[in-house]
Structure 1
Amino acid sequence: MTTVTDTQKLLDSRPPSVATLFQDRVAATPDRVAFRYPVPPASGTGPDEWRDLTWAASAKRVHSIAAGLIELGIRSEERVAVAAATSVDWILSDLGILCAGAANTTVYPTTNAEETAYILADSGSRVLIAEDGVQLAKVREQRAELPELAHVVVIAAADATPAAGDPDGFVLSLAQLEERGAAYLEKHPDSVTDRIAQLRADQIATLIYTSGTTGKPKGVRLPHDCWSYMGRSIEAIKLLTYDDVQYLWLPLAHVFGKVLTAGHISTGHVMAVDGRIDKIIENLPVVRPTKMCGVPRIYEKVYNGVAAKARAGGGAKYKIFQWAVGIAREYAKASQDNFVKTGKRTVPTGLSVKHSIADKLVYAKLREAFGGRMEGCVSGSAALSPEIGWFFAGAGIPILEGYGLTESSAASFVNRIEDFRVGTVGKPLPGCEVRIADDGEILLRGPGIMQGYHGLPETTAEVLEADGWFHTGDIGELSADGFLRITDRKKDLIKTSGGKYIAPTEVEGQFKAICPYVGSIVVIGANRNFCTALISLDEPALLGWAKEAGLEGTPYPELLAAPETKAMVEGYVKQLNEGLQRWQTVKQFRILPRDLDLEHGELTPSLKLKRPVVERTFKDLIEEMYEGAVAK
């Protein structure tokens, strides 16, 4: 068991930079597998081949990338951007940038050409490491806006083709960069290690641009010490350990994905990397991870998928599933209550027997779908419905909710496997201070807090006090023993025209827990005299429901408009309302003509809801619900 003294020693002894942290890891376990990654079959059909990369082999590529950037003229603290999906190449490129003494500007590959150009220009990025020709085309389209961009390094070698109008040497492949770096190292063998030795703890390592719902994104400046601290903190609380196999699919342009790479380096576990979201279900039984991190939307989809599959299996099978869900929640709640009171996760004998039966019938199959070795998942970026949390905990796959922001390097609070509490985001990481303001806002201070917003001192001063306290904009409550519960975003709280405050995420979470067909739900009600909701339905789940509803073969768009579908959703809304206060109840709803998605800008790349965008897009439906209506 790690003591407070051991934890403090671990934090106090953290190296000044991520690059040094990486060098120390390579020296400690050079021959251990660092990464596993998929290689699609040459034929284009069949399963992927998963390959291993050791820490020593990773270091060889990282140093070649770093030396290649130095050879291109990149100087200390200059920015090199990465616009690519999650992959081993992304992580090695990031480490190469840091080992060259530069800073990484992260760009989502889904970002459009105009905003990509804005981020590259605002950050002053001199090199872009792009995934493929699609990302390269964005830069070419906005070339006039990017006078400082000297080179584009393309990961997909086949797409690294110069075009008419490109400056000399503008485009090269990642393989070519590594070749140039290797040649540079032969002549200047100490060039990379010298850059690493010069790095300071307060030197900028990463610029992450927040995906704001309005206005231009802001660049969050995160120095090396943020990541070094995060790596050691994750190791100290044993969120990730040396013996783990972690499955990483989260976007690395997002702070949640990025912080996991720091934890990986610090602990030295094996990380299986594949950013293809549609491959998660297929990969889990192959990778057989012990840990996985994700966002609530993923766990909601897993839960709804399992529920829909059970329902499709017939009435008897669905009743067994519903019974097992109830037992899982009851078991998890009893276990948690007893742990809080006695320090032991015990449950009544009768409940234990029922749980054992449900485990054989339902939970064991769910755990096998996760690979059979999953010790726990971490959820962040948005609130997880407690009812879904109770279910997974009772089924033997605890989902450990955490909390943090881009401005706090992602992880400020997190539940621990040995002491987790559903409905909370856990306790603070060691070294992180927390304070609840008079209006309920959560304030944070510690080594994980940003330096500020890039080039925006006045905006920085609005949220970051001179003594280091950061205003999160979130509302929360601290328990007597240090567990934090997030009640809502300060700016997202709904105040009805009757003066009642409502936390929409709380209502939305409850609906997701009872309706297995929901894709998204957005509760509306600010300055209105009652609440309404926009509801989208998950296509695969709804098509499964259609079979038993006598609508098999009906296309998805027609199903959404069918009176039977409206009646089905209405039943779940009625069930939702039975558990709400009168002023929280949803008086009217509309089923959306499609699910919310990234393409239409309604979700961030980390699958977080953009409420203002949704409300603008479906303004007519919202007005229709309130037009001439009177709350009942």
Structure 2
Amino acid sequence: MEKLSRVFDLLSYNKELYNTSDILATKIDNDWKKYSIDEFISTSNAISRGLLSLKIAKNDKVAIMSENRPEWNFCDFGIMQIGATQVPMYPTLAENDIKFILNDAEIKIIFVSSKQIYDKILNVKNESNLDLKIYTFDKIKSLPYWEEIKNLGEENANIDLEIHKSKITKDDLLTLIYTSGTTGTPKGVMLTHDNLLSNVLFSAPMYPKEITRALSFLPLSHIFERMVCYMYFYLGIAVYYAESMDTIVANLAEVKPHCFTTVPRLLEKVYDRIVAKGHELSGVKKSLFFWALKLGHQYELEGKNGLWYEIQLKIARKLIFSKWRDALGGEILCIVSGGAALQERLARVFWGANIKVLEGYGLTETSPVIAVNGPFVGQTKFGTVGKVLGNLQVKIAEDGEILVKGPSVTKAYYKRPDATTETIVDGWFHTGDIGELKDGFLAITDRKKEVFKTAGGKYISPQVLENKFKESVYIEQIMIVGENMKFPSALIVPNFDNLKEWAKRNGIIETEPEQLVKNVKVCEKIWDEVSKLNVGFGHWEQVKKIALLANEFTIDGGELTPKLSIKRKVVMNKNKEIIERIYASVDANEHHVI
């Protein structure tokens, strides 16, 4: 068996161990087109030879700006096999970020998915006078097509790829990933073959051996999905790409995956839809649904609730929760959640429904997994992100910051020695997250930079508050504000689907978000939800005022990062006047809703 020391070794490893017939699959014209490991290898090799024919050399930068599709993987491996560096770019990137990355990384070639992205890149290329070749994955008349490089490689089949591969070591740069972050200019995170492979090898044991098929919809441009896909190749798991975020439900039904990765926001939406359907039931069915839901929220691992609870749960799983599993394709064995904090009540209810949601934690700089909950006995603890991977060290600094050291940690930021020395001290990477270790399990409490002080000198952890308030089915998005103010407040985007149903039941005729957020009864309803969820927090932490927003925070609107984290400064700037109105009156008890 070939020794794994570079990421591209995964292909020959998969061929030797599994010979996967559908290692990649995508839907074209209503049919699933499947690619075997042999096709994967031959196409990637052709891309490698084609790039060499175009004079792309070791350490040159080649970018991919596309949604998930097999061509992404073919080009990724084609790039890495010649020692060039792949630079992934989100299809949703703003033009100023595109311009920065293309210039900073000195990109030679970029693969894009569509005409729309092609035009965006062409505009930046012309404006900045860049020496850049652009190829499309979609076949578009008169535009350079990615298969031209593949064909060029096939015409030059005499190029000995093994010579180029042999010059690549585990410490060579594999990828340069620009983190959008929630503030500031993008930073290029340098990750080597060893960074990624070490993370693959120590994350893989968390996956049950029965898993052979996965659905993928999180962007490959993000290190989370990319590392997981490398792990799928290592484990012989077939990767089926969802057509889009809008078709996930239909694709789940078709593919019947054993696993998929997700972010909490999507799980929250799934849960809210399920609960909304429960409200539509009547009589005995409705009673049974909410009985099962209550049981799910009380779930404890390893039968700790006792025999009577387990008997009830078995009935609930058969009558109610089996339909949840069916909605996810019927064969789901586990879901991995990352990118943000998962509400503990969601983890409990999904486990109660016999759907194992494994919350993990990491950053781009750590390739990414630092810790993850596992599916087996003793591997999960609710309210934590799991145990630290076996090849990493974690310690908590005096100020509560999580520090990590190990083979998956980046050595540096690209062209940013200042950022490198600030973040990596004596080999320890400073994550910027606040946390604690509980019986070997890591718990995250907040982002260090997001914790703020009120005017009274009390510390507020916004993430803890936000996660709690999102338990309300009437709250879709929330951002806590109040730095240097007398008390914390919240900007809230209601869940308008659920709110419209409630409004209809309560004789409110308004249906548009702009009208609903101004309705007195609606304002009172959301304030009642906040009041209930405030209980349990210290008086100084409790939200005293709220403002309802009609427009959702989005990636396109600039309020969210591609992994759906809130860009706090952007949201605050866009809602500056509203925040000023919140604090115009010093009396926290006067007009709770602005």
Q: Fold conserved (TM > 0.5)?
A: yes
Distance 1:542 1:255 in 2: 36
Alpha-carbon displacement from aligned partner over 1:92-147 (angstroms, at most 9, x marks no partner)? 21111111221111111111223212101101111001111112112221224655
Give the corresponding residue for 1:576. Answer: 533
Corresponding residue to 1:251 among 205, 219, 225: 219
Q: Which amino acid aligns with 1:447?
A: P
2:445 aligned counterpart, secondary structure: strand
Give the corresponding residue for 2:10. Answer: 21
Q: Check 1:144–1:542 CA distance in 2 against 1; reply closer, same or farther (3 A cut).
A: same
Kindly state the Cα deviation for residue 34 of structure 1 after the two structures are TM-superposed.
Answer: 0.7
Alpha-carbon displacement from aligned partner over 1:433-486 (angstroms, at most 9, x marks no partner)? 111111111100111101211001111000112x42101111110023x10000
Q: Check 1:275–1:449 CA distance in 2 against 1; reply closer, same or farther (3 A cut).
A: farther
Give the corresponding residue for 1:208. Answer: 177
Kindly state the Cα deviation for residue 530 of structure 1 after the two structures are TM-superposed.
Answer: 1.0
Q: Which amino acid aligns with 1:30?
A: N
Residues 545-564 of structure 1: matches in 2 within 5 Å? 545-551=502-508, 554-564=511-521
1:527 aligned counterpart, secondary structure: coil
* Structure 2: runs of 5 or more not aligned: 590-594
Q: Check 1:34–1:552 CA distance in 2 against 1; reply closer, same or farther (3 A cut).
A: farther
Give the corresponding residue for 1:120. Answer: 102
Corresponding residue to 2:456 among 498, 501, 515: 498
Distance 2:534 2:521 in 1: 20
Q: Check 1:242–1:389 CA distance in 2 against 1; reply closer, same or farther (3 A cut).
A: closer
Distance 1:217 1:275 in 2: 29
Corresponding residue to 1:527 among 441, 466, 484: 484
Distance 2:558 2:208 in 1: 33
1:227 aligned counterpart, secondary structure: helix
1:121 aligned counterpart, secondary structure: helix
Q: Which runs of 4+ in 1 moved over 4 A?
A: 144-148, 314-319
Contact 1:32 1:55 in 2 (8 A): yes
Give the corresponding residue for 1:168. Answer: none
Alpha-carbon displacement from aligned partner over 1:566-604 (angstroms, at most 9, x marks no partner)? 222122112111232212211111110111111111111
Distance 1:503 1:318 in 2: 37
Kindly state the Cα deviation for residue 281 of structure 1 after the two structures are TM-superposed.
Answer: 1.5
Corresponding residue to 2:353 among 388, 395, 400: 395
TM-score (norm: length of structure 1): 0.89
Identity %: 32
1:323 aligned counterpart, secondary structure: helix
Give the corresponding residue for 2:424. Answer: 464
Matched, 1:405 2:363: yes
Kindly state the Cα deviation for residue 392 of structure 1 after the two structures are TM-superposed.
Answer: 1.1
Give the corresponding residue for 2:151. Answer: 179
Give the corresponding residue for 2:438. Answer: 479
Residues 82-481 of structure 1: matches in 2 within 5 Å? 82-144=64-126, 149-158=131-140, 161-162=142-143, 172-185=144-157, 187-188=158-159, 190=160, 192-235=161-204, 237-239=205-207, 241=209, 243-274=211-242, 276-314=244-282, 318-330=286-298, 332-333=299-300, 336=301, 339=302, 345-418=303-376, 419-465=379-425, 467-480=426-439
Kindly state the Cα deviation for residue 551 of structure 1 after the two structures are TM-superposed.
Answer: 4.0
Alpha-carbon displacement from aligned partner over 1:50-80 (angstroms, at most 9, x marks no partner)? 2221111111111111111111110012110
Distance 1:275 1:507 in 2: 35
Distance 1:546 1:316 in 2: 25
Q: Check 1:31–1:491 CA distance in 2 against 1; reply closer, same or farther (3 A cut).
A: closer
Contact 2:243 2:251 in 1 (8 A): no
Contact 2:453 2:483 in 1 (8 A): yes
Give the corresponding residue for 2:562. Answer: 605
2:573 aligned counterpart, secondary structure: helix
Contact 1:295 1:382 in 2 (8 A): yes
Kindly state the Cα deviation for residue 317 of structure 1 after the two structures are TM-superposed.
Answer: 5.1
Alpha-carbon displacement from aligned partner over 1:602-625 (angstroms, at most 9, x marks no partner)? 111111111111111111111111
Give the corresponding residue for 1:5. Answer: none
Alpha-carbon displacement from aligned partner over 1:371-390 (angstroms, at most 9, x marks no partner)? 11111111111111111111
TM-score (norm: length of structure 2): 0.95
Distance 2:365 2:577 in 1: 35
Distance 1:239 1:412 in 2: 16
Kindly state the Cα deviation for residue 308 of structure 1 after the two structures are TM-superposed.
Answer: 1.4
Give the corresponding residue for 1:45. Answer: none
2:484 aligned counterpart, secondary structure: coil
Matched, 1:58 2:47: no
* Structure 1: runs of 5 or more not aligned: 1-9, 42-47, 163-171, 340-344
Distance 1:295 1:554 in 2: 29
Distance 1:240 1:285 in 2: 21
Corresponding residue to 1:619 among 576, 580, 585: 576
Distance 1:426 1:599 in 2: 33
2:170 aligned counterpart, secondary structure: coil
Kindly state the Cα deviation for residue 316 of structure 1 after the two structures are TM-superposed.
Answer: 6.3
Distance 1:76 1:85 in 2: 26
Distance 2:9 2:117 in 1: 31
Distance 2:468 2:71 in 1: 39
Distance 1:109 1:79 in 2: 18
Residues 27-46 of structure 1: matches in 2 within 5 Å? 27-39=16-28, 41=29
Contact 1:233 1:429 in 2 (8 A): yes
Distance 2:554 2:182 in 1: 14
Kindly state the Cα deviation for residue 543 of structure 1 after the two structures are TM-superposed.
Answer: 3.4
Alpha-carbon displacement from aligned partner over 1:530-575 (angstroms, at most 9, x marks no partner)? 1111110234333343443334672343233322322221221121
1:364 aligned counterpart, secondary structure: helix
RMSD: 2.0
Distance 2:404 2:329 in 1: 37
Q: Which amino acid aligns with 1:441?
A: E
Aligned residues: 587
